[in-house]
Amino acid sequence: MSKFKLIPSSSAISTGVCTCAKTLCECNMKYCSTRGQEAGLTFKQVLFAGYAKDLGLYMPEDVPVLGPEELQHLKGCSFPELVCEIARKFIDEAEIPTTDLEEVIKDSLKRFRIPEVVRVEKLKGGLNIVELFHGTTLAFKDLGLSVVCGLLSYFLAESSRHVTVLVGTSGDTGSAAIEGVRGRANMDIVVLLPKGRCTAIQELQMTTVLEDNVHVYRVDGSSDDLDHPIKQCFADTQLVAKHNLISVNSINWGRILVQVAHFFYTYFQLCEEVGCPVEVVIPTGACGNITAGCIAQKMGLPITLVAGVNTNNIVARTLGEGDFSVKGDVVTSLAPAMDIQVPYNVERMMYLYANKDTARVRQLMQEFEKSGKVTIPEDIMKAMKTGCTGTFTVDDDEITKTLRRVHQEHHYVLCPHTAVAAAYHYSATRKIGEKSPPKGYIATASPAKFPEALQRAGLEPVTDLVAHLHSLPTRSVEMKKGEDWYSMLKAKIESISAGRAKA
């Protein structure tokens, strides 16, 4: 599968000095916390972690840069090959040999419904829809989570170790994580979903999975509310260590790593020639996807990024004005995966654009966690705007109008999150005679998951891939307001370990 001959050097692995002829090599990649308490970690260590010990997020200590010749070589890669090549940049050969890495990725992506895995639908007028939703649960989360769970399983097979995956979801992450874990003997998964705030289809994709290693909780609160007990669990270092607790939200670096690949794929599908710019428009929630885009930029990919948000517009205020602050409660919208008021991957973006100054990141995040607001310093904002060149906000009415207009003009049906991105296509203005770069609009999910939004736009729901869910039995546990959610989670995690000990 690999387009490159990757030749490990014992001296490179032992000293960290690269002796390979090409940049694509084993360069002793190490990871650190964005807040500075931990450094020098391996990929495997951060893959099996949630939050860092100081409650920061893990990032590579250095981002590898590709030269023009390497970009040209990558242009001929299929999507799975690109995932392999990008992953090889961030995972040492000493941790997983190239042949094994290729096999894990190939096996992880085999359940996608189209052979190319990702498809760019080039509609007239430059409306290029980047379809990332051809996986098992019809959302882009399948891309990252299928590979992450494959890598976890690969490393777990080397020992008799068992892990418990703890995940909070605003809609799509939970079902994709469940699909990656269900039936695996060495993994259990506990998922918290916000009751009544996902679509019916999203919820059914989680509650209809009845395998013994899947445990679903319906929480009486928002996706931000359910993050609190999850963060409490990961802050309990004894609980984490004793029960091998990990996360596969975009908290997990592995998710971000895999998502970098679809920015490369989008670029190569749309660029006029390698080196020419491409603009990528991203519907944005917790900022995991846009963080992956920023990393692709840092690697030398000539893309510009635009972030679109729904009514919960903290990301637009943060990236546009430096106003990283929570204002009011989470508002339920037609694009529920973006109903977030605490986009935790902003912390990773701060790290990237503060020149890896972990002390500054720690100070800013501690202020945010204490007061719910912080102003990002001007120098960091200036650097951040070189990565993300624009932001915009789309309310439910505009989502509905965009769904209707794209269907009328192109006979193409979007999901409401993708409609947020596509709204930019109709709002962007250009001067007469001005040539703009090609644009890719990230399609994060299939419209089949959002029948309510389609009906509001006067469109027929897409049912062929989800109709069967309504007839399946369901199983879940309620988490009600006023209950001690942290204690409930802790008890469940302990009971999973106890059950495995008896077995």
Q: How far apart are CA 31 and CA 18, in angstroms?
A: 17
Q: How far apart are CA 198 and CA 210, in angstroms?
A: 19
The one catalytic residue among 141, 231, 439, 490: 141
Name the helix (H) or strand (E) containing 297. Answer: helix 288-298
30 given a catalytic annotation: no
Q: How far apart are CA 289 and CA 355, in angstroms?
A: 20
Nearest to 417 by CA among 51, 138, 203, 213: 138
Q: How far apart are CA 291 and CA 259, in angstroms?
A: 9
Nearest to 342 by CA among 362, 305, 371, 321: 371
Question: 252, 246 in Cβ contact below 8 A?
Answer: yes
Cα 45 to chain centroid distance, Å, stands at: 19
Can you spell out the DSSP letters for 416-453? Answer: HHHHHHHHHHHH----TT-----EEEEE-B-GGG-HHH
Name the helix (H) or strand (E) containing 207. Answer: helix 200-207
**Residue 129: exposure state from Cβ atoms within 10 A (0-12, 13-18, ≥19):** buried
Q: If you count them, how many residues does the chain have?
A: 503
Question: 171, 415 in Cβ contact below 8 A?
Answer: no
The residue with tokens 């990919």 is 301
CA angle 33, 34, 38 (to 5 degrees): 25
Q: How far apart are CA 348 and CA 59, in angstroms?
A: 7
Beta bridge partners of 281: 306, 441
Tokens of 89: 């940049």
Distance between terminal CA atoms of the chain?
A: 40
Question: 400, 310 in Cβ contact below 8 A?
Answer: no
Question: 152, 47 in Cβ contact below 8 A?
Answer: yes
The residues carrying an active-site annotation are: 141
